[in-house]
Amino acid sequence: MTFEELLQIPPYSLGHEEKHALLTERLLGLTEHHLAHCPEYRRMLDSVGYDSGSISGYEDLPFLPVRLFKELSLRSVPQEDVVKTMTSSGTTGQAVSRIYLDRTTSANQQKTMVKIVSDFLGASRLPMIILDCPSVVKDRNMFSARGAGILGFSIFGARKIYALDDDMRLDVDGLRAFLEKFQGQDVLLFGFTFMVWQHFYKELVRLKEQGVTFDLSRGILIHGGGWKKLASEAVSPQEFHDRLRDVCGLDRIHDYYGMVEQTGCIYMQCECGHLHASVFSDVIMRRSLDFGVCGVGEPGIIQVVSTIPESYPGHSLLTEDEGVLLGEDDCPCGRKGKYFKINGRLKNAEIRGCSDTYAARFA
Amino acid sequence: MTNEEKYLSIFKESFDVDEATARTLKYQDIPAWDSVGHMSLIAALEDAFDIMMDTDDIIDFSSFEKGKEILAKNYDIEF
């Protein structure tokens, strides 16, 4: 099956067996592709004695540690085919990942992301409030994870405003004018978790004390990028939701999990509060002792697989996050596939979520 | 201004290119038509033709020619 054919499948329509067969075929194919086109990848797989004949399912495929992309330049296409290089959001002094995209992989990232998010937002585009500053997408040759996230989601916006200026101050007048213009319509809000809290929520609270209020009951917030900083402020996901609802009526809130090394395959949080894997990717929780596969309810290190990466060997990666599988094919929201939650970063891992690296400056 | 002229002038202005270049341009051919440039182009076209494009059409909009096809077929814009 080609990726184009895969894209025609509704993102949450396949049960375990069908999805397992589909992913195994595609991921095995990608492994062969990268073996043939990325010498460093071939050397690594040779050194662990990889044998495609011994693979009975995609959970048997080798995985690379995600931080390898900080240490090595891994490409499976000639340099001249690279149209975009994406970087993870490392703070000063931390190494950043470099992900090389050609036209095909770059286009497939955007197409996949649209399929996934459309399942939650519907097909129509909405007025959109970006809870960040415009300068984050200024450097077009070197995309940060933050810029890429904003740009990727921008396709869902019909008319857009950036709610923050380059000093991260809320544009109160701009926001008011925008909301008045689109009164009575659904409005999409997008931002990174910590930025939403620090520069939007806290400002709304301050304004409310002065008698200035905003009604965002028609808002749909999509946010991602990490909870570490908020957890250290003792703000739980539930409290994040409750307090946003209290200050501005915002009640439709979707967190998402994703990483620059597998852009496009994001894991959206459903109405039941669960993160969902689409047919385009999957998570496998692994035991830290022997990398065995965890059962439902058992916390483990998250491995992510994605059907997208063709220009770099990032289709099977071990993250530095801990998560718990909650179930498969039986979430009350009706979506098939695995659903799970994130416990947080593994201990001693670097801070590197989009919102967390930004948050490090507030420490 | 005809629709053809309008369409062409948006390409020329958005990407700072001449007519000959614009007419054969494809997505990612030049640095200006990257993903940022793409969303600016779509916004300019939507304003000029007073339309709202679907996400699928924005993704399929991969060249000057393809764009015209999409506008003609899905948005009743005659060229």
Which mean pLDDT values do the consecutive 10-residue runs of chain A (363 residues) have? 93 98 97 97 95 95 94 95 82 77 93 94 91 82 75 90 94 96 96 94 96 96 88 89 97 94 96 96 95 96 98 97 97 98 78 57 54
Tell whether A110 lies on the interface with B, counting CB pairs under 8 A: yes
Tell whether A84 lies on the interface with B, counting CB pairs under 8 A: yes
CATH of the domain at A84: 3.40.50.12780
Q: Do A107 and B59 touch (CB under 8 A)?
A: yes
Chain B residue at shortest CA distance from A138: B36
CA distance B79 to B71: 9
The 8-class DSSP code of residue A124 comes to S
- Tokens for A237? 């996901």
The 8-class DSSP code of residue A349 comes to P
Interface test with B, best of A121, A125, A130, A190 (most B CBs within 10 A): A125
Instruction: Find where tokens 């990612």 sit.
Output: B28
Residues of A numbered 41-60 whose beta carbons fall under 8 angstroms of chain B's beta carbons: which are they? Answer: none
**A321 CA to chain B: closest CA distance, Å?**
29
Domain containing A189 equals 3-362
CA distance A237 to A344: 12
Q: How far is CA A24 from CA A16, A109, A305, B67, in A?
A: 12, 19, 10, 36
pTM: 0.90
Tell whether B16 lies on the interface with A, counting CB pairs under 8 A: no
Residues of B numbered 21-40 whose beta carbons fall under 8 angstroms of chain A's beta carbons: which are they? Answer: 27-28, 31, 34-37, 39
- Set of chain B residues whose Cβ sits within 8 Å of the Cβ of A114: 55-56, 59
Q: Which of A100, A55, A54 is nearest to A77 (CA)?
A: A100
Q: Which of A258, A259, A261, A321 is nearest to A74 (CA)?
A: A261
B15-35 average pLDDT score: 93
Q: Which of A243, A276, A257 is nearest to A345 (CA)?
A: A257
Domain containing B42 equals 3-75
CATH of the domain at B64: 1.10.1200.10
CA distance A28 to A25: 5
Domain count, chain A: 1
Residue A280: strand, helix, or coil: coil
Each residue of A94-120: pLDDT tens digit?
778 899 999 999 999 999 999 999 999
CA distance A136 to A310: 27
Q: Which of A7, A218, A10 is nearest to A119 (CA)?
A: A10
